[in-house]
């Protein structure tokens, strides 16, 4: 029988939210058995908390937001993915602002801080979410599908296809044979070069910079456009590499973008309230269909 586990101590993380640009301090710490994962908005006063459950999802535009009354927390998918991938059943997440810090754009900062300390076992059996029949959700307009089938062990498979000459079609998977902290959790978010101006004009990615996102240059761009990007992020001159990525970061895996989408999927599906014991297959998935 697999027992529940929680963290051994509190861990502090601080940084800007990707979309709001607001700085938040976040403490991830131990919680009693059968608590699950609970966000507590410390800036709003005592009792202002939101359980990480699908019923509390309030927005899925470019990230996942959960709400309970006046208390909302956005961009929760990376920390939920990290806790799931490391096998944490119960945790309190105290945060003093509306958005989880983006940090390096992956779950790596959480893994680096927590993984080596190990975890505290608790005297309660792990909650597994098991299915009696297959569930399939489709978005015909976007060509997205998430299929969840009954299985004796968990497995996740994802395929991404943005009709991109740079990315091509990429796949990634997670199962008992894949070490999440080394192979999934370290993979960063990504954005297309041509999207960045639109996102800024529409009040998104206010906390974005060249340290927390892979930038894909899908269409030909001029040196002036790249120089404008350097000025926008206030960094030394950037270049477009031969493989079609901006020179701000080096890829950790050739399919890092697919692995990051898998990271997101794992985090979003944790909102089911426990650990899925199922076969998950997803194509062109995003936060909206992940949390339906």
Question: What sign has the CA pseudo-torsion 272, 275, 280, 282?
Answer: positive
Q: Is 230 helix (H, G, I), strand (E, B) or coil?
A: helix
Catalytic residue, candidates 19, 78, 260, 287: 287
- In Å, what is the CA distance from 28 to each residue of 6, 75, 92, 110, 127? 10, 15, 6, 9, 20
Catalytic site includes residue 287: yes
Residue indicated by tokens 């509390």: 56
CB-based contact 139:289 (threshold 8 Å):
yes
Residue indicated by tokens 């801080």: 113
Q: How far apart are CA 275 and CA 266, in angstroms?
A: 10
Backbone phi, psi, residue 37, to 5°: -110, 125
CB-based contact 106:249 (threshold 8 Å):
no
Q: Is 195 helix (H, G, I), strand (E, B) or coil?
A: helix
Q: Which residues are catalytic?
A: 287
């Amino acid at each position: 029988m697999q027992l529940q586990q929680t963290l051994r101590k509190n861990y502090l993380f601080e940084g800007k939210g990707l979309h709001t640009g607001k700085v938040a301090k976040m403490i991830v710490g131990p919680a009693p058995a059968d608590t699950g994962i609970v966000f507590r908005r410390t800036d709003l006063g005592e009792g202002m908390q939101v359980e990480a459950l699908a019923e509390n999802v309030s927005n899925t535009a470019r990230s996942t937001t959960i709400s309970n009354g006046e208390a909302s927390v956005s961009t929760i998918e990376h920390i939920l993915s990290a806790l799931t991938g490391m096998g944490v059943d119960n945790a309190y997440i105290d945060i003093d602002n509306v958005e989880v810090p983006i940090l390096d754009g992956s779950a790596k900062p959480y893994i680096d801080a927590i993984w080596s300390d190990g975890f505290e076992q608790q005297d309660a059996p792990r909650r597994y979410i098991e299915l009696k029949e297959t569930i399939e959700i489709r978005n015909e307009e976007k060509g997205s599908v998430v299929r969840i089938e009954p299985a004796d062990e968990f497995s996740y498979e994802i395929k991404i296809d943005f009709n991109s000459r740079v990315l091509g079609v990429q796949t990634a998977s997670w199962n008992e044979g894949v070490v999440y902290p080394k192979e999934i959790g370290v993979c960063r978010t990504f954005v297309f070069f041509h999207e960045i101006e639109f996102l800024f004009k529409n009040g998104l990615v206010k906390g974005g910079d060249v340290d927390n996102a892979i930038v894909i240059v899908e269409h030909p761009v001029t040196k002036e456009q790249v120089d404008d990007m350097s000025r926008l992020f206030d960094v030394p001159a950037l270049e477009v590499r031969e493989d079609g990525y901006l020179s701000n970061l080096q890829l950790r895996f050739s399919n890092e973008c697919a692995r990051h989408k898998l990271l997101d999927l794992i985090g979003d599906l944790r909102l089911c309230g426990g650990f899925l014991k199922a076969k998950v297959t997803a194509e062109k998935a995003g936060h909206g269909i992940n949390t339906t």
